[in-house]
Every structure is written in structure tokens, then in C-alpha cells.
């Protein structure tokens, strides 16, 4: 029988990797809560229309990457490829209009069928935040600063660059779209097939094309900022002034866009040069038209998401697993006492490893293998004297400690 392997693009998170993932998630939680955000959890699968309607029928996610299937009831179901659409659906389904402004954060697995590479898997994990119900630029400043603070908490200050752009309001987008379409139609014979299809339905997506020929054409395309009206310029200026006031450095990238119509005003990404081609570690933007697109009431929104796998590759200073205390009972009476002794120590928050069998030599070998900080040796003589031999496995020093004082003695060594 062939050895079983995980499905391509998925991977097991072993204990060391789990600690790195948990460090990312916990720091996101801590910073989000400092900003007044509360946790939300949505199902990992939704009706397909939740994503097809929100991500656009010309996006790569919808056309190439979604894990979609029909359940036994004949319903079209999709494993979530991102978190924002589920949060927006939850907002509508649960009638949360009265809770505005709504400030939430989330974490969990996402699924996309794409080519696996460093920091990118078919099952991957994200953390993210969403702020619903605030139309003004103060929301943009807050959400971006939350992202910056989160990355700082991971020790990434100075290792990431904030790129930011404005997509303007609908009037500005319409003006830019018209100019872009006119320009691209002049190069129609040189565009890739994907970009030709997008030109009719979603021309801004052409700016995201990975095709090398398209990139050459796009390099000379009109720039969004040349088509902004005064309202949009003032909005963006307020955002950049707010970031400057908070000491958050940024680079204006006029080519940074979001292709779908429900996006507006601010788009941003934090990027790094330390992960090769997959340089974006956190990305977001304002999506004032999303909830209306999904059939809900017109509701402003802005948020971001960050890839946990990518951040875990960068994060430093992850706290190691706590070193346990190894109980080494010798004899039946000691085995029985060790069972209750382990329970006493664990109730005092001492991490305890209680071996199941083996002589003294084997148990001590296991204690060293698991990195125990101390071994508690308990035999007939120790039981009779009401003590345990405690051996410091770093120094080799061994002392007799009364059983009644064992919890206090071991607690001090944590």
C-alpha cells in the first residue's frame, strides 16, 4: 500500500508550526481588541452565490480557484476563499444594522485551488478585520493603523512597506474606467485572452494581469489619480494626513487597484521583499458597495486580511512550548501516588509528563528527549519518608523535597 500523503496544497501543522500560527493569531486578537474589535466566526462554506456575487464572475478566484460542489440537497456550496463576503453575509442574515458601527475580527482556514508555492497553499489561514457603517476617512486611518500595529507586534516594523492608493468615488471610477477602456481598446490585438474578456466586464482587472505582454501595455495606461474629483482627492488627503500624524510611513502606488465596482476610495497593501514573489502579507480596502451588492442595505465598509502562513515565515520571538516536569515513579505504590501527584501539580498549572511504563533509565531518557526541566523521582523509600527526589535536568543537582512542598518548589522553577 502506498504511503498516505496530504492532498497537494495542504499541509499538516506540527506543534512548532502551530505555535507560530498561534502567535500570529493571538497578536492579531490582542491588537484588534485594543481597537475595540470583537471576534466573529462564520462557516467555512457558504452558498456559492455569496462569493460569485461579491468576487465578480471575471475574477480568477471565481473562474479558476473556488472549491465548489453540489451537496446532497442539490445546493451549490463553496468553501470560503476569503473572509469578507462571509462577514457581510452574516451582517445581512443576522440583521446587524442596529449594531453599527460594527467592528469585528476573524481568523480561520480559507480554500483556493491555485499553484502551491512558498507561503501559499490551497488550504491556508487568514486573520482579518472589518469595520462596517463608517463612511468617513477616519475609518480608513483606523483600519490601516490597526494593521500597522499588528505587524509591529509581530516584530515586522521596518521589514514591510505600506503601499496605498485611492480608487475615488463612483464618479471618479466611471471617468477613469472610460479612459482606461479607450486606451486598452487601442491595444486590443496585443492583450491576452483573459484581459480581452475582462475588458468588457471588468476593465480594472486588466491592471492586475500577470501576463508579461499585458504588463507592458498597462505600464503606459492612464493613472487613476488623474481622474479624481475634488471630493475623492480630499478624502485621500485626509487619510494620508492621518497616517502621517500617527507616524505610519507609506508609499503612494497609483497602480494599486481593486477591480470590483463595490470598492471605493482607499486600497492598501503591506509588502515585504523577504518572501520572493509572494510579497504581500496584509491587504485591504474600502468596499462601500459590497453589502448593497449582496442585497443588504447600503452600508459603508473597510477591512483587511493577512495570510497567517506568510506571516509565520517572518515572525520572530515565538514563545517556546513550556518545559514539563517528568514524573518518574518506581514501583506499584509510587505509580499510584504519581497519578494523584500529577493531578495536584497540573491543578497548580505545572506542566507534567507522566510516563506510562519503563524502568528508571528509560523514563529518564524520555525526560531528556522531551526537554523536561526537572525529573521528580518517587520510589518506596521516598514514599516512606514523604519526599520526592527532584533532579534539575539542566544543572544535574538533585534534592529531596517534601511532597507537601513539591507544588510550590516546582512552581518557582517555571
Nearest Cα residue to 278 out of 58, 121, 110: 121
Contacts of 124 (CB under 8 A, 6+ apart): 109, 110, 111, 112, 307, 308, 309
Residue 22 annotated as part of some ligand binding site: no
Residue 263 annotated as part of some ligand binding site: yes
Residue 176 annotated as part of some ligand binding site: no
Residue 397 annotated as part of some ligand binding site: no
The residue with cell 521516598 is 382
DSSP H helices, 202-331, are: 212-218, 230-245, 290-293, 308-314
C-alpha cell at 34: 485594543
C-alpha cell at 393: 535536568
Residue 112 annotated as part of some ligand binding site: yes
Residue 381 CB: number of other CB atoms within 10 A? 12
Can you tell me the distance from the alpha carbon of 291 to that of 278, in angstroms, rounded to the nearest whole number? 29
Nearest Cα residue to 309 out of 109, 31, 28: 109
Cβ–Cβ under 8 Å, residues 122 and 112: yes
C-alpha cell at 20: 507560530
C-alpha cell at 29: 486578537
Contacts of 272 (CB under 8 A, 6+ apart): 156, 159, 160, 161, 279, 281, 314
Residue 126 annotated as part of some ligand binding site: yes
Residue 331 annotated as part of some ligand binding site: no
Can you tell me the distance from the alpha carbon of 224 to that of 21, in angstroms, rounded to the nearest whole number? 37
Q: Which residues are annotated as a binding site for L-histidine?
A: 82-84, 112, 126, 130, 258, 262-263
Q: Which residues are annotated as a binding site?
A: 82-84, 112, 126, 130, 258, 262-263
Amino acid at each position: 500500500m502506498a504511503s498516505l500523503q496530504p492532498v497537494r496544497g495542504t499541509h499538516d501543522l506540527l506543534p512548532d508550526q502551530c505555535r507560530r500560527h498561534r502567535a500570529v493569531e493571538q497578536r492579531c486578537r490582542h491588537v484588534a481588541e485594543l481597537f475595540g474589535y470583537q471576534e466573529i466566526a462564520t462557516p467555512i462554506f457558504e452558498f456559492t452565490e455569496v462569493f460569485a456575487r461579491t468576487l465578480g464572475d471575471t475574477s480568477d478566484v471565481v473562474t479558476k480557484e473556488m472549491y465548489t460542489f453540489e451537496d446532497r440537497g442539490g445546493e451549490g456550496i463553496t468553501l470560503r476563499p476569503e473572509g469578507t463576503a462571509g462577514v457581510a453575509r452574516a451582517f445581512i442574515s443576522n440583521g446587524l444594522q442596529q449594531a453599527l458601527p460594527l467592528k469585528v475580527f476573524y481568523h480561520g482556514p480559507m480554500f483556493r485551488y491555485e499553484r502551491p508555492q512558498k507561503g501559499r497553499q490551497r488550504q491556508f489561514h487568514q486573520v482579518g478585520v472589518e469595520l462596517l457603517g463608517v463612511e468617513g476617512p477616519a475609518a480608513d486611518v483606523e483600519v490601516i493603523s490597526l494593521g500597522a500595529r499588528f505587524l509591529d507586534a509581530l516584530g515586522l516594523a521596518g521589514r514591510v512597506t505600506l503601499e496605498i492608493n485611492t480608487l475615488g468615488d463612483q464618479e471618479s471610477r466611471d471617468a477613469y474606467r472610460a479612459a482606461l477602456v479607450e486606451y486598452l481598446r487601442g491595444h486590443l490585438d496585443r492583450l491576452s485572452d483573459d484581459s480581452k474578456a475582462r475588458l468588457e466586464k471588468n476593465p480594472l482587472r486588466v491592471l492586475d494581469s500577470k501576463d508579461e505582454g499585458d504588463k507592458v501595455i498597462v505600464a503606459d495606461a492612464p493613472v487613476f489619480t488623474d481622474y479624481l474629483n475634488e471630493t475623492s482627492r480630499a478624502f485621500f488627503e485626509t487619510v494620508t494626513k492621518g497616517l502621517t500624524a500617527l507616524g505610519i510611513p507609506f508609499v503612494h502606488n497609483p497602480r494599486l487597484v481593486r477591480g470590483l465596482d463595490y470598492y471605493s476610495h482607499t486600497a492598501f497593501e503591506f509588502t515585504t521583499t523577504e518572501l520572493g514573489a509572494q510579497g504581500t502579507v496584509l491587504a485591504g480596502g474600502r468596499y462601500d458597495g459590497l453589502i448593497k451588492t449582496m442585497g443588504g442595505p447600503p452600508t459603508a465598509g473597510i477591512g483587511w486580511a493577512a495570510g497567517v502562513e506568510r506571516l509565520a515565515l517572518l515572525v520572530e520571538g515565538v514563545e517556546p512550548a513550556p518545559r514539563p516536569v517528568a514524573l518518574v515513579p518506581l514501583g506499584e505504590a509510587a505509580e499510584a501516588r504519581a497519578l494523584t501527584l500529577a493531578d495536584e501539580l497540573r491543578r497548580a498549572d505545572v506542566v507534567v509528563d507522566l510516563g506510562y511504563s519503563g524502568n528508571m533509565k528509560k523514563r529518564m531518557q524520555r525526560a531528556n528527549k522531551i526537554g523536561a526541566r526537572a525529573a521528580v523521582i518517587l520510589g518506596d523509600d521516598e514514599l516512606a519518608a514523604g519526599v520526592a527526589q527532584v533532579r534539575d535536568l539542566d544543572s544535574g543537582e538533585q534534592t529531596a523535597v517534601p511532597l507537601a512542598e513539591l507544588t510550590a518548589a516546582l512552581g518557582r522553577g517555571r
